[in-house]
Amino acid sequence: MSYSSQNNFFAQAYRTGTDAWSAIPFTRRAHELGLYLPHGALVLDIGAGRGRLLFDLAELGFRAIGLENNPELIARGNNEILAKNLDKDLRFLHGDALNIPLADQSFDGASDIGLLHHVLPQDYPTYVSEVARVLKPGAFFFLVVLSKNTPNYLSWKPQKSEAADYEKEGVHYHFFSDDEIKKLFEKDFEIRHIDHDTPFGPKDADFAVVLLKKK
């Protein structure tokens, strides 16, 4: 698996409208950021996709940048922002979660709904370091990743497997245990809570829904 093969898969899915993950209603959970951030806070959405969360953040009174590596989504998203007269509060930015093109300690909050589990495990330290770098001390980070508690995913059974990694159609999936999440982030973040959500029912994908606070 390479990141280029993943990028090609996701670009094709967005182009053809087969990005079923975009409809999973995790944005409602990400609204929890509104309980912790002041009005007008600046939020970074990592892997913004179609920008559903970005526009929700604007409605909640936040400013936000959507980090995305798909040029078509960026152009479409920024055109939609202009059409809705939200260009003072929102924008899509081309970038990579492993090398975020933004200044240190510049955000009050951040979110990642479904990107980290596509990052290769050897790159996790870089990912965490980059997210921590752009967040201010005390900033909140909302994270959604696939959980090892998942009974069935595509043609695989993560819960019963000793492995935590799966690949299909050139896309890498990692299924996190709660302990793994804690160990991964403990140096830079305080874990506020880890919940679990099964949007397709208890026999399908289980997602860890995590709220962290930058130390």
The tens digit of pLDDT for each residue in 10-28 reads 999 999 999 999 988 887 7
How many angstroms separate the CA atoms of 74 and 103, rounded?
Answer: 20
Phi-psi region of 65 (alpha: psi -120 to 50; beta: other; left: phi over 0): beta
How many angstroms separate the CA atoms of 81 and 83, rounded?
Answer: 5
Mean pLDDT of 114-120: 97
Q: Lowest mean pLDDT: which of 16-30, 71-85, 121-135?
A: 16-30
The arrangement of strands across the sheet holding 207-214 comes to 90-94, 63-68, 42-46, 107-113, 135-146, 207-214, 189-197
Assigned superfamily of 3-10+27-214:
Vaccinia Virus protein VP39 (3.40.50.150)
Mean pLDDT of 206-215: 97
Mean pLDDT of 101-129: 97
pLDDT for residue 2: 83
H or E, element range at 63: strand 63-68
pLDDT for residue 29: 78
